[in-house]
Structure 1
Amino acid sequence: MDLASASPVFASVHRELEHFASAPQIFFETWKRGVTLAGVYLLGDGPRETFERATSKWDLCPRMPLIRRAFPPMSPSEKKFLAAMASFDNSRDSRSLLKRSGFEGFSDLDGLDLDRRQVIATLILTFVGW
């Protein structure tokens, strides 16, 4: 008899272990997709070559001083997406960006297109810490 079918608790724990075993890689792949949507120059060392050579989220950290300078002319949805992305790296430092973008809560992501919504949703589901 299969233990997963014998015990709903075991099945649940097994499902979570499987999910979180692959979560860091899925997070990184999704993070890279988000970086291309937010702007490669705003995350990581900047040059496209650095982005292409990135092997972990650490290679593509938000460049907060540059993001703060680039923020004012962005559209409201660009601001919300970038602020949400930055918040995965450092929630304290990105708090002011979230506020400046008008982000009050998850319902404020309604202005994002499907690609950006999928990025944020997947990042939430696979985030295991920075």
Structure 2
Amino acid sequence: MNQSLPQDVLDQIAREILHFDNAPAAFLEAWKRGIQIAGVEWFGDGTHAGLQQAKSKWELRPNVPRLNDTLGVLSSGQRMFLSAMVSFYNADEGGALLKRCQFEGLADLGGLDLERRKVIADLLLHYHGW
């Protein structure tokens, strides 16, 4: 017996495959946008050249020890945004930073401006593991 899936199901499967095939590049693009907003000094080698030349998210890992040391001198919005970004890199370390920012849940991201919200949304949409 030859049973095929309905066309709308096949189309949905094709869209999801395409999305996840493109996810690594889309994540890197969103990650770089986030770095430009947050400041290159917190990521990779800490330089604009390093950001421009990076071909992989691995080259743009957050400098978590530096963030831990200086989190208290940043504005609440900077702390929240950087901590949320770190949580994509390392859930435990990012979670600890978010806790220090009194992050209670996703609704707290509503305190970020639209540009930062879009970065977080794109990172979430295209996240495929670190």
Is the TM value for this pair above 0.5?
Answer: yes
Gaps of 5+ in 1: none
When normalised by structure 2's length, the TM-score is: 0.92
Deviations 1:62-106 (A, max 9, x none): 110011112101111111110000000000122210101111111
- Specify the alignment match of 1:11 in structure 2: 11
- Note the C-alpha offset of 1:107: 0.2
- Note the C-alpha offset of 1:46: 1.1
d(CA) in 1 for partners of 2:104, 2:74: 18
d(CA) in 1 for partners of 2:42, 2:8: 45
Identity %: 44
When normalised by structure 1's length, the TM-score is: 0.92
d(CA) in 1 for partners of 2:42, 2:94: 14
Q: Output the aligned Cα RMSD.
A: 1.4
d(CA) in 1 for partners of 2:10, 2:60: 36
1:80-91 matches, within 5 Å, as 80-91=80-91
1:1-130 matches, within 5 Å, as 6-130=6-130
Deviations 1:33-58 (A, max 9, x none): 00111110101111222112111111
d(CA) in 1 for partners of 2:60, 2:99: 23
